Structure 1
Amino acid sequence: MSRLSIEILALLVSCLTCGVFAQQICQITQNLNDVPRAVHSDLYRGQQNFTLSMLQAINKATPNENVFFSPYSTYHALLLAYFGSRGQTEVELTKALSLEWAKNKNHVMRGYTLERSSRISRSKNSPLQFSAADRIFFDKEEEPTECVQQIFHQELAKLDFQNKSEECRVEINNWISNVTKHEITDMLKMGEVDAQTKLVLANAAYFKGQWSNKFDPKDTKKDIFYTSESKQSFVDMMHKRGTYNLALDENLGAYVLEMPYVTSNDNEKESDMSMIIILPPFHNLDGVLAKLTPDTLDDALKEGMAREVDVSLPKFAFEQNLELVPVLRDIGINSLFEEDCDLGEFFTNRLRFGDAKHVAKINVDEEGSTASAATVLFSFRSARPLEPTKFECNHPFLFLIYDYNAKAILFTGIYRDPMTQK
């Protein structure tokens, strides 16, 4: 059984400077039913923009490494900061999170509320496991505004950072561990939470799914993976012949394969979540990333046609720890980590972020979840190919865990080098 688990959190340190509480956040609960339900899709259109900007920033920072993270998790942690922000901090978060479509925070809150309720109902009713949770851990000396207590009562957790910082660290780690089904057990290391910590914003997410068309372990064998022209290594390569949606996307200049997850073990009905595998030509991964936008991704998914395909996909598992501050600065989020950070919608004292971390783990095997790189031996223009198309994952590729219902990218990564797996 394959599984993905991910978490992001950000530590905030008090600057002990009084701020003035603004009233906009108080209006979030007013006339919420008057806001169009279309904001749900608007919110996740913004999430796709954020995802691709973050992917490009991480790829630039780690150009020769495997990449894996959850933009869904990062986006939701930053949404919490957005709801508490004012001034320049709000301006930067609005742009980075692609929230310019919204009239105000009340507008964005509608999408957030709809998404929160949908993820709760999905976790209860579907055998496909996807769960996520947000939490605002705050020091007992920092009193949240009344409006914040009303709106985010499910997310608020009061701790005694000043006198019991180590106990607080353990409690936050335990919360993360519970949400991620004990996949991430020690997110915060000793000393990363201390008496100066005033606020921790966190999102944790967990996903586990089975392929609707599983690989047979008997067909897994050693094959070559080409990291570069001069670097090759052997991997455990899985093999499966099946019918998949496959496209040759001329805009991206890449092949796009959809591998759906099953929603029920009884009838093997496909769910609305899939692994999307984007396979560029061998030397053009960066070129494809540069062309990848929400629009080009939508177009590529629409072009897919059901084909009989021989898929060859490496088994892999690795963990990635990201220092998020330089990545977030690269996409335009700066004041969140500066003295002029303004989170006055949440607390009367002025607070700023001291650090931001992200930990992600992925495990891919014959049972479910992951991506592949490919070589196509003949044109996809034929409506009825005479033999299966070969989709061989033997060089670097991009993969996404995609929720068609929300049009949200839950997890994404780049698989480049089997030798750097952890």
Structure 2
Amino acid sequence: MINAKITCAVIFSLLFLCIGCIENNDPVSETNAVDEDSTMYASSADEYDIAIANNAFAFDMYSNIVKEENLVFSPYSIFTAMAICYGGAGGTTQEQIASVFNYPLSKPVLEEASKNMMATINSDTDNYDLSTANALWVRKEYPLNSEFSTNSKEYYGGNVTNLDFRSEPEESRVIINNWVASKTNDKIKDLIPEELITEDTAIIITNAVYFKGAWMNKFDTANTAKRAFYNSSSNENPVDMMYTQEFFSYGESENAKILEMPYKGDDLCMYIVLPEENNIEEFEDTFTISDYNELKSSMESQYIVHTYLPKFKIDVKTELPDTLRNMGVVDAFDGNLANFSGMYNVQLVPEDYNLWLDDVIHQAFIDVQEEGTEAAASTAIEATDGAIPTVLEFKADHPFMFFIEDKRTGCILFMGKVENPEY
């Protein structure tokens, strides 16, 4: 058999940096299941709610990632990059990816919904910077399927650039990394690691997401002070704790509190989910998307909230092939079973030619400070062959989860947890 492999190198680099004056006995999997009639069997983009699909995938991914310490990733970035790859999938490979990512079996439905989501994200505003972009990098003289190429450009803005992967692997790596850097304001400079590109590399699909915005209610740096933070072992660590007293949308349940921290323009926000107990493991193992939505529905905005939030930086690198296999993407990693025939011109390759997924790498960095947030995510898929208000307190002095969400669509762009604030 003549085989080329898709090494799915999914490398996320998330940057949260405050900028001046801008801004299967798994309970999670069971509860996060979405209605197949409105996802897998959706017949139109209006019927398919891509934000619900993305968010359900986000919680499924979170429940499957090894997360002993701090964690951050972009469900939207991996969801979108894989959607382009999905455009070339067929048979059981397509069905398994659809099941895990909550894609519709109708590719045109996903393409149209993705195009609409990208249009919302890329809409212009003076309040913040938010953008997403895609690109396809194809080995020189590779027989790329023309329909796959056209659809990638039409629905994802993924222009095709031919590179000489075989003769100039390092030069090709530099070109791709420069593209990523340009789309992420130079926050992600080395997405493609050395030696990832080999003579068998056929296609590299890249996605980038960038966000830069100020808090609507900035923290006064004068109020930042060393305060105690208690990790899951209840060990006390002094951290730089920010403080503000504002009207915030706030809600709570028996075992958690939630706070909405909007960014300037109020199109995007960060939700902080703070468990009652210091040890976050039991909470996160049972915290579902239904719980998240129910917690959000409890929120009210008539309260002054004394808010304490630590400054934190997180840098995480994770390999995800086993995670995706455990989630159900099995055939795509098998050289004998994978079907990505929609990516190439079947008339120009040998009869036994094949592509499959080989590697997934996830890298993330987050930096939160007093004045705002800057966030960048990048994904690479390598195809190788009134009344006096009640005053409340929200003191994030122990592990918590966070979500950055596009309030216009409800799409979770970034999510993670803080186990040990580092700054």
1:129/1:237 Cα in 2 relative to 1: closer, same or farther (>3 Å)?
same
User: Is this contact kept in 2: 1:275–1:369, CA < 8 A?
Assistant: no
Of stretches 191-200 and 89-98 in structure 1, the one that deviates more from structure 2 is: 191-200
Q: Does the 8 A contact of 2:138 with 2:162 survive in 1?
A: yes
CA RMSD of aligned residues (A): 2.3
Q: CA deviation at 1:318?
A: 2.2
Structure 1 residue aligned with 2:13: none
The CA deviation string for residues 391-410 of structure 1, in whole angstroms up to 9 with x for no partner, is 11110000000112111100
Per mean C-alpha deviation after superposition, the further-off stretch among 170-179 and 344-353 is 344-353
Matched, 1:52 2:59: yes
Q: Secondary structure at the match of 1:341?
A: coil
Deviation at 1:78, TM superposition (A): 1.1
Q: Where does residue 345 of structure 1 map in the other structure?
A: 342
**Match status 1:223 vs 2:231:** no
- Letter of the 1:354 counterpart: D
Q: Secondary structure at the match of 1:200?
A: strand
Q: Is contact 1:73-1:204 (8 Å) kept? A: yes
Indicate the residue corresponding to 2:324 in structure 1. 328
Corresponding position of 1:288:
283
**How many angstroms does 1:384 deviate by?**
6.4
Equivalent residue letter for 1:337? F
AA aligned opposite 1:362: I
Of 296, 304, 322 in structure 2, the residue corresponding to residue 301 of structure 1 is 296
Which 5+ residue runs of structure 1 have no aligned equivalent?
Answer: 1-8, 13-33, 264-270, 371-382
- Following superposition, the deviation at residue 328 of structure 1 comes to 1.6
Cα distance change, pair 399–11 in 1 and its aligned pair in 2 (3 A): closer
- From 7, 10, 15, the counterpart of 2:8: 10
How far did 1:126 drift? 4.0
| CA spacing shift, 1:369–1:300, aligned 2, 3 Å | farther
CA distance in 1, matches of 2:338, 2:237: 47
Distance in structure 2 (CA, Å) of the matches to 1:255 and 1:300? 8
AA aligned to 2:287 is L
Instruction: Return the match for 1:184 from 172, 182, 188.
Output: 188
In the other structure, the counterpart of 2:128 is 128
The residue identity in structure 2 corresponding to 1:365 is Q
Query: Hey, what does 1:268 align to over in structure 2?
Result: none
Higher mean displacement: 124-133 or 391-400: 124-133
Task: Tell me if 1:141 matches 2:125.
Answer: no
> Taking structure 1 as reference, are residues 127 and 230 closer, same or farther at Cα in structure 2, changes over 3 Å only?
closer
Measure the CA separation in 1 of the matches of 2:288 and 2:87.
26
Structure 1 pair 151–387 and aligned structure 2 pair: CA distance change class (3 A): closer
Q: Tell me the CA shift for residue 157 of structure 1.
A: 2.4
User: Cα distance, 1:38 vs. partner?
Assistant: 2.2
Q: Is the Cα contact below 8 Å between 2:54 and 2:101 reproduced in 1?
A: yes
Shift of 1:35: 6.5
Given the alignment of the two structures, is residue 410 of structure 1 paired with residue 422 of structure 2, yes or no?
Answer: no
Given that 1:224 and 1:235 are in contact with CA atoms closer than 8 Å, whether structure 2 keeps it comes out as yes
What letter corresponds to residue 324 of structure 1 in structure 2?
L
Amino acid at match of 1:57: N
Instruction: State which drifts further: 196-205 or 44-53.
Output: 196-205
Aligned-partner Cα distance in 2 for 1:113–1:97: 17
Match of residue 38, structure 1, among 40, 43, 46: 46
What residue is the counterpart of 2:404 in the other structure? 401
Q: Is the alpha carbon distance of 1:142 and 1:368 closer, same or farther for their aligned partners in structure 2, counting shifts above 3 Å? A: same
- CA distance in 2 between counterparts of 1:85 and 1:48 reads 22
- Name the aligned partner's letter for residue 242 of structure 2: M
Give the letter for the 2:149 counterpart. Q
Amino acid of the structure 1 residue aligned with 2:89: S
Q: Is the 8 A contact 1:11 1:201 kept in 2?
A: no
Q: Which residue of 1 aligns with 2:78?
A: 74
Structure 1, residues 117-147: CA drift from partner, whole Å, max 9, x if none? 2223x2x334311111122222123222221
The one-letter amino acid of 2:177's match is: N
Match of 1:329, SS state, is helix
Give the partner amino acid of 2:311: K
Q: Is the 8 A contact 2:229 2:236 kept in 1?
A: yes
219-228 vs 361-370, which moves further: 361-370
Q: CA deviation at 1:162?
A: 1.4
Contact 1:69-1:411 within 8 A present in 2 as well? yes
Q: Secondary structure at the match of 2:404?
A: strand
Q: 4+ residue stretches of structure 1 with deviation over 6 A?
A: 383-386
The farther-off stretch of 131-140 and 408-417 is 131-140
Task: List gaps (5 residues or longer) in structure 2.
Answer: 1-6, 11-41, 347-352, 375-385
Hey, what's the Cα distance between the residues in 2 that align with 1:158 and 1:294? 41
Identity of aligned residues (%): 28
Matched, 1:275 2:270: yes
Distance 1:255 1:11, change over 3 A: closer
Matches within 5 A, 1:97-246: 97-99=101-103, 102=104, 104-120=106-122, 122=123, 124-153=124-153, 154-155=157-158, 156-246=160-250
Q: What residue in structure 2 maps to residue 374 of structure 1? A: none
Deviation at 1:284, TM superposition (A): 5.3
Seen in structure 2, the aligned counterparts of structure 1 residues 136 and 312 have a Cα distance that, compared at 3 Å, is same
Change (3 A) 1:88 1:103: closer
CA shift for structure 1 position 224: 0.8
How many Å separate the matches in 1 of 2:293 and 2:233? 32
Classify the secondary structure of the residue corresponding to 1:288: helix
> Residue 83 of structure 1 corresponds to which residue in structure 2?
87
**Distance (whole Å) between structure 2 residues aligned to residue 281 and residue 56 of structure 1:** 20
User: What's the secondary structure of 1:394's corresponding residue?
Assistant: coil
For the structure 1 residues 229 and 105, does the alpha-carbon distance in structure 2 shift closer, same or farther, using more than 3 Å as the test? closer
User: Which protein, 1 or 2, shows the higher relative CO under an 8 Å CA cutoff with sep ≥ 6?
Assistant: 2
Residues in 1 aligned to 2:175 and 2:93: alpha-carbon distance in whole angstroms: 29
